[in-house]
Chain A
Amino acid sequence: MLTTMIRTELKRGTAELAILSVLENEPLHGYEIARQIEEQSKGALRFTLAALYPMLYRMENRGWLKGTWETAENGRRRRCYRLMPRGRKMLQPLREEWANLFRVLRRVAKVSHA
């Protein structure tokens, strides 16, 4: 139970960093964001629609992302999210924060790299 809670909180905490990171190189629509995160984390981080969109909207409201409707070559309309300067600015401190956390955990709990 406790392990599940910790895992959930960890995943929630890393979600923002994961979203910002996948958007760092190119704008993506929601489904593609989820797919890339899952692929890059080798399935460790999985975003359902219910977890992804409230987070995207919150990040958009904070000015980290901006969503715009775009038409793909096949004519399908999708809302693409791109990283805004404020989001880009958040990326580095978040990375450092997580890196520090893992450093501390390695020292204290003897946690080694996964």
Chain B
Amino acid sequence: MPDWNLLISERIGTLALSRQVRDEVVAELATHLEELYQACRARGANESQAIEIALSQAADWQALGSEISDAKNEENGMNDRSKQFWLPGLVTLTASMLWLMMLERWDWRPHTAFANGSPPLMPYLIWLVTQPVFGAAGAYWSRRNGGSRLVRIAAGIFPSIAMLGLLLFITFTGFFVERNPFLWKHPAFFALVVFPWAIFPAIALLLGVLPFLKVANPRQS
């Protein structure tokens, strides 16, 4: 039996699509040709005739590849990377930051006998323990749009990635552009900030992402 995936891959060339989407397209076209091949065989064609008929379904495979890329990338101007990573990631970041702002604005403290002794970090702690929800939302959204495992993780922990980038930028400019004396006196300051604002949230976000890593290829579910 012909290896339709291979035959199509050889003919269609590289598409302007992610590897995953390209593989899906090739698999789908291969299924179509396999069905056609089987139908031709059932009608009495020999193997080489059936293969020839199947492959004649596209006069120009390269042109078909371009047309499929155009059709797949049309998507109202939004490509796969935007749908699978940037959009879920940015929305997760925005939601997570808005939630932190709301908590700080409310200055939420437990109204208990221990209220006076409640730690000032309460808004932060509440924010931290709720991060799995944001991670889950980002990963779910990315998975829904066909994101690979790696992309789902990246989209889910995007708030921490952005925060890490911001902290690196601030620290770098503080050290080398502004030559901030505080930073030069306390070089460990970066580590003190990066753990509560990037590393711990990343772990919390990742906890939320985990349940959405089970299916390897959501478009094949």
Contacts and interface: CB of A to CB of B under 8 A. Distances in A.
Contacts of A49: 29, 32-33, 36, 57-58, 64
A57 interface: yes
A87 to B, nearest CB: 16
A69 B60 CA distance: 26
A68 B31 contact: no
Nearest to A31: B35
Nearest to B35: A31
Given A30-B28, A48-B57, A68-B221, A57 B72 contact: yes
A89 B67 CA distance: 26
B151 interface: no
Given A49-B32, A50-B64, A54-B67, A69 B72 contact: no
Interface string A27-57: 0011100100000000000001110111101
Contacts of B221: 68-69
B74 interface: yes
B36 to A, nearest CB: 7
B31 A53 contact: no
B179 interface: no
Contacts of A31: 31-32, 35-36
A50 B59 CA distance: 8
Contacts of B25: 53
Interface residues of B, number: 28
A50 B58 contact: yes
Contacts of B58: 48-50
Contacts of A78: 31
A77 interface: yes
B68 interface: yes
B3 to A, nearest CB: 15
A34 B58 CA distance: 14
A58 B71 contact: yes
B31 A54 contact: no
A77 B76 CA distance: 29
Contacts of A25: none
A61 interface: yes
Interface of B: 24-25, 27-29, 31-36, 57-60, 63-64, 67-68, 70-72, 74-76, 219-221
**Shortest Cβ-Cβ A-B pairs, 7 listed:** A49-B57, A57-B71, A50-B58, A31-B35, A69-B220, A54-B67, A54-B71
